[in-house]
Amino acid sequence: MHIGKTFLKAKEKIEQGKRYPFREAVELVVSTARAKFDETVETAIKLGVNPQHADQMVRGSVVLPNGLGKSVKVLVFAKGDKEKEAMEAGADLVGSDDLIEKIKGGWLEFDRAIATPDMMGSVGKLGKILGPRGLMPNPKVGTVTFDVEKAVKELKAGRIEFRVEKAGIVHCPVGKVSFGAEKLQENIVALVEAIIKLKPASSKGIYLKNISLSSTMGPGVRVDPLDVKNI
C-alpha cells in the first residue's frame, strides 16, 4: 500500500490529459520519482506511420550525449585483427565459433552484440535465439560492421537502438532520474532528432503525434510534441 500511496501522491502533481511544455514535463518526471533505487526514465513516442508497410518502418540508433547511466556488456563476433581491435576498444567478450557454440548452449550473459560482416554467415544461425531478445547484430543499426572500434565505443558510451512497434510507438530508455532534468532533456532531444531524420517519405500528416515520459515507478507525463520539435 505504501507504493500505491506514493504513486497516487505523485500523480496528483500531474494534470490529467494536459500536454506539458518539454522542460516542465522532464522536471515533473524527476520530481515525481519516489523509489529507493535510481529509476530509469522512459519515453513513448507515437508516430504517424503504419509499421505494417515496409516503407514506413522507422528503425535506427543514436548515441545519447549523456549515456544511459549503466554499464553495457558488449560481445563481439570477430576473427584475426578485428578480434584484437575489439579487445583494445573495450569489448567485454570477443570470439567467433567458440562464442556461437556457447550461445547455442543457452549462455546469454551480455547486453549488446556486434559482428564483422564476414562472421554473419555463422552468426545468422543464432537468429532464433538472439532475434527475439533484441541481441542480433544488424547493419541497419551499425552492429554489423568492420569498424569494430567505433561500434564498441559507441555502445559503451550509451548508443541505443530504437524501432517502431506494431501500434506505431517507439519505446526507449533515455537515462536515470539521477541525471537531473538538463541531462535528460539533452538525451531526449538527441533521440527525437534521430527519429525525425528517419521520417518515411510515405508518412503523411502529423509525424510526431504524442510523446510521454515516465520513470520506472512514476506516473506518465504527456509532452507537447511541437515544443520538443522546436527545441
For 76-122, write each residue's pLDDT tens digit: 999 999 999 999 999 999 999 999 999 999 999 999 999 999 999 99
Do 165 and 151 share a structural domain? Answer: no
Do 168 and 140 share a structural domain? Answer: no
Do 84 and 20 share a structural domain? Answer: no
Do 82 and 148 share a structural domain? Answer: yes
Q: Round to whole Å and give the CA distance between 74 and 84.
A: 14
Q: pTM of this prediction?
A: 0.80
Q: Round to whole Å and give the CA distance between 94 and 184.
A: 32
Do 148 and 100 share a structural domain? Answer: yes
Position 63 in a domain: yes
Out of 134, 156, 178, a domain closes at 156
- Give the chain's residues under pLDDT 50: 1-2
How many domains does the chain divide into? 2
DSSP assignment letter at 36 = S
Give whole-number Cα distances, 196 to 60, 81, 116, 147, 206, in Å.
Answer: 11, 37, 29, 26, 11
Position 32 in a domain: yes
Residue 60: domain span: 15-67+159-230
Out of 140, 156, 172, a domain closes at 156
